[in-house]
Structure 1
Amino acid sequence: MTLFWISTVALVFVAILLLVMTLNSKKANNDEQLRDELNKAFYKDRLSELEEETSEGLVENQQDLIDDLKQSLLDDIPQQQEVAKTNVSLMAILLPSAILIVVLTYGMYMHFGGAEKVKNWHEVSANLPELSKKLMAGSAEPMTEDEMQDLTLALRTRLHYQKDDSTGWLLLGRIALANRDVATATDAMENAYRIEPDNADVKLGYAQALMMSQDEMDQNRARSLLTSLIQEEYVDLRVFSLLAFDAFEREDFASAIRYWSVMQRMIGPEDSRYEMLTRSIESAKARMGEPVVKGESVAVEISLSPGVQVPEGAALIVSVHPADGSPMPVAAARYPLGSFPRTVVLDDNNSMMEGRKLSSLEGLVVRVRIDSDGNVATRDGDWYGESQPAKLGETVKVDINQQY
């Protein structure tokens, strides 16, 4: 910014210098020279006229007329003081002209040049680290639209000077994805991928951008990138989500169900997204023509009674039994102990017997046990609880309050 103002001062100084040179320069045809030339021409013309008039007998005192003509020429020569006055008047033009140049230059820039916008641009660019930190932190208070615009402007400015900053391109691409700006997102993610082609986050971001494209080649490339990410040691949940959504859109419902089922196993029934994935699977099955059994899952709310001692390293075992009291569970699942109260969801994926699914039960009882030694066959000292008889689709409450 300082360099900019120094440059403007230098340009204004050059303009004033050119003005000074113009005012002080002596023209080839200035007033004095022009007057002298005119007087000479007039004198010669008048002499020619006098000679013609004399030859015609019109003039008797030719010499007297010539003397009068010479005297008139002498009277037309300016005095030295007049010349000095002329010089002073030219110098007097310089100061107001210079002031006018400065006022017009900076005045018009302030009005038309966007000085406030330039100032704001520099402030936003300087605030880039703080804005980026707020975005990446994912604080409870979301960023405002103005802050997102400021962050985009700051990122574009930085990337103009640091074109190999893959993190900056990735961040710009994510902002564009959030704003549904497909062109910007694709360009930004492509630059990030060009710089770091082996970065998993960059691959995922680039695949997300390509997936939003209407071009079949872009979508095929996105699928290729997502498929390569599945082969990594750690797979981001969003990879399966994108593959499932893409498969569903292409009416490959079997693949969509497979990907959503993998996601369910990754997050566990206690996650709030589990039910949403269940509904997505049911929707895909319905599109395939398979009957969807309503209420084929059971949600279990688990709580601990006061005084229950929970050993470290224990696990939570939840089993669903027929309402007739059969000890053999139809479905069961094992979870990390976690915190209480908590809710888990069991469905046909947790069925244990071939040919008999959870969805086939008309009535059920849920039993919950805290396994203290990691061996499901032993129960000595374990705490447990059992629900009242219930039906599929209902929320079952179990209070762990007894000990073997």
Structure 2
Amino acid sequence: MSSLFFSFIGMCIVALVFICVPLFRFSQFGHKRNASAQWFEQRLAELTDELEQGRFTQQQYEFAVTELKLTTKFELTKENKVQPTIINEFGFSSKILISVLFVVFISGFYLFYGNYTKLSNWQDSIDELPDLTQKIIQNQNQAPTVQELQSFALGLRTKLAVKDEAIGWMLLGRTLLALNDINSAIDAFKKSYDRDPKSVTNIVNYAQALYLKGEDFELGKAVNILREALYLQPDNMMALIIFGESNLLLKRFDNAKEAFELALSQLNADDERTVALRQRIEFINQSTGTQTPDTQTNDIQNGLTITVQLDDRVTASGTQFRYLFLFAKSASSPVPVAVKKLPISNFPLTVNLSDSDIMLPDVKLSDQSSVNITARLSIDEAAGLTAGEWQGELLDIKPSANEPITIVINKETK
């Protein structure tokens, strides 16, 4: 704040210069005019004395007086290039009073209409940022006020100008979203996504803001980036729901239905979101003229017989892993066609992946022309990819071939 006051004092000094310099010039003009008048009176008296003493004739006297008047008029004309005003009649105390009144007027105008209040609020936001962070992020029992959210956003912007971090932009985006500033929230989430594009949280937040914008271009962008999130974390509920809602608004009913059914299969029966998801699916069925199958097709015995082997590098550190995930994905969808989760046992391990492992009742493994197979060692039950986990891939596998295949887990996730 000190720089603000120094700047204000500097502006006042400049303003006073603009006032005092003309005042000084007007004062000089008055002095010169008075000096010219005194000189004229003195010279006229001298000419009169010389006439009385007989040094001039009457004709010479009149000629001298005429010359004196012309000379005096010429001097006054030069000085009159700057027109005098009523301020010339002011004394020194009046000029000081004008200067003081001017400073008071400028100060009052700045306080009421300038940026002082905004700058003061900015400084307060910086000071209150730690307390606001704790209240907004950690205190879930008490909702922050609009003013607190605005102060928090202002403080975050200032902090991000010094230290540019993905998590900071993500927090700013959520705050702006709470303030219903959708466009600014999209900008903040995009910065967070650009700085950490592998974070599923960043992807979902960015996609949610794009979805709330509701325009076709933003919806298409949300769908595209959510494919990345579902590849990294196929069971992410928020990603599935936003993916389905965005496709529904774009009238891509097949993709929307696939996402809603997958999300529905992962929710508990008493979850309140199941009602909304079933309504969405029913709406899609009515719009497309299809019916929801009453029962799932019987499992087929013929599927993919997969033998999973471990690279030597995995064997050395394999004790930390608890589960084996097998995914079969088509190239046209980020959602897995079939998934199987098994506890870690002795390798090599032979697993059958068939229609009994499909994610959606109307998307069968046996109906796919080709799929990509992924085998992943996971440290927990989450299907999402985590740094330090290992996986292997096989591309363009035909499920109808019914031939045994072998996949080697040999790639570590960084």
Query: What secondary structure is seen at the aligned counterpart in 2 of 1:27?
Result: helix
Question: Hey, what does 2:175 align to over in structure 1?
Answer: 175
The answer on whether the counterparts of 2:219 and 2:250 sit within 8 Å (CA) in structure 1 is no
- Deviation readout 1:14-53 (Å, 9 max, x if unpaired): 5557766766678376244322554478679989x99998
TM-score by length of 1: 0.52
Residues 111-190 of structure 1: pairs in structure 2 closer than 5 A: 111-113=112-114, 115-137=116-138, 139-159=140-160, 161-162=161-162, 164-190=164-190
Residues 277-316 of structure 1: pairs in structure 2 closer than 5 A: 277-291=277-291
Aligned: 1:35 with 2:17: no
Deviation at residue 123 of structure 1 after TM alignment: 1.8
**Paired residue type of 1:268:** N
CA RMSD of aligned residues (A): 4.6
Deviation at residue 139 of structure 1 after TM alignment: 0.9
Judging changes above 3 Å, is the alpha-carbon distance between structure 1 residues 284 and 92 closer, same or farther for their aligned structure 2 residues?
Answer: closer
- Deviation readout 1:204-235 (Å, 9 max, x if unpaired): 22222333446544433322211111111575
- 1:216 and 1:282 map into 2 onto residues whose CA distance is 23
Residues 3-402 of structure 1: pairs in structure 2 closer than 5 A: 3-13=3-13, 15-16=15-16, 27=28, 30-36=32-38, 38-39=40-41, 54-55=58-59, 91-93=92-94, 95-113=96-114, 115-137=116-138, 139-159=140-160, 161-162=161-162, 164-213=164-213, 216-233=216-233, 235-291=235-291
**Paired residue type of 1:104:** F
Judging changes above 3 Å, is the alpha-carbon distance between structure 1 residues 276 and 233 closer, same or farther for their aligned structure 2 residues?
Answer: closer
**Paired residue type of 2:144:** M
- Report which of the two structures shows the higher radius of gyration computed on alpha carbons: 1
Q: 285-294 or 274-283: which moved more?
A: 285-294
Mark the runs of 5 or more structure 2 residues left unpaired by the alignment: 69-89, 295-355, 362-414
**Paired residue type of 1:231:** Y
- 2:224 and 2:267 map into 1 onto residues whose CA distance is 25
**Paired residue type of 2:173:** G
Judging changes above 3 Å, is the alpha-carbon distance between structure 1 residues 40 and 143 closer, same or farther for their aligned structure 2 residues?
Answer: same
- Deviation readout 1:130-168 (Å, 9 max, x if unpaired): 333333336133223333333334444544x34834333
Judging changes above 3 Å, is the alpha-carbon distance between structure 1 residues 179 and 14 closer, same or farther for their aligned structure 2 residues?
Answer: closer
Deviation at residue 179 of structure 1 after TM alignment: 4.7
TM-score by length of 2: 0.51
- Deviation readout 1:334-365 (Å, 9 max, x if unpaired): xxxxxxxxxxxxxxx9xxxx9xxxxxxxxxxx
The answer on whether the counterparts of 2:149 and 2:179 sit within 8 Å (CA) in structure 1 is no
Mark the runs of 5 or more structure 1 residues left unpaired by the alignment: 57-61, 70-88, 295-348, 355-404
Judging changes above 3 Å, is the alpha-carbon distance between structure 1 residues 106 and 149 closer, same or farther for their aligned structure 2 residues?
Answer: same
Judging changes above 3 Å, is the alpha-carbon distance between structure 1 residues 230 and 45 closer, same or farther for their aligned structure 2 residues?
Answer: farther
Q: 12-21 or 29-38: which moved more?
A: 12-21
- 2:20 and 2:178 map into 1 onto residues whose CA distance is 58
Question: Hey, what does 1:365 align to over in structure 2?
Answer: none
The answer on whether the counterparts of 1:286 and 1:292 sit within 8 Å (CA) in structure 2 is no
**Paired residue type of 2:242:** L
Judging changes above 3 Å, is the alpha-carbon distance between structure 1 residues 260 and 111 closer, same or farther for their aligned structure 2 residues?
Answer: closer
Aligned pair count reads 269
- Deviation readout 1:107-140 (Å, 9 max, x if unpaired): 3333433644543343234223333333333613
- 2:235 and 2:46 map into 1 onto residues whose CA distance is 106
Query: What secondary structure is seen at the aligned counterpart in 2 of 1:228?
Result: helix
Deviation at residue 239 of structure 1 after TM alignment: 0.8
The answer on whether the counterparts of 2:220 and 2:246 sit within 8 Å (CA) in structure 1 is no
The answer on whether the counterparts of 1:23 and 1:90 sit within 8 Å (CA) in structure 2 is no
**Paired residue type of 1:54:** Q
Query: What secondary structure is seen at the aligned counterpart in 1 of 2:197?
Result: coil
Judging changes above 3 Å, is the alpha-carbon distance between structure 1 residues 245 and 38 closer, same or farther for their aligned structure 2 residues?
Answer: same
Deviation at residue 245 of structure 1 after TM alignment: 1.0
Judging changes above 3 Å, is the alpha-carbon distance between structure 1 residues 224 and 45 closer, same or farther for their aligned structure 2 residues?
Answer: farther
Deviation at residue 181 of structure 1 after TM alignment: 3.5
- Deviation readout 1:86-127 (Å, 9 max, x if unpaired): xxx955456535533443332333343364454334323422
- 1:45 and 1:187 map into 2 onto residues whose CA distance is 89
Judging changes above 3 Å, is the alpha-carbon distance between structure 1 residues 7 and 253 closer, same or farther for their aligned structure 2 residues?
Answer: closer
The share of aligned pairs that are identical, in percent, is 22
- 2:246 and 2:134 map into 1 onto residues whose CA distance is 32
Judging changes above 3 Å, is the alpha-carbon distance between structure 1 residues 23 and 213 closer, same or farther for their aligned structure 2 residues?
Answer: closer
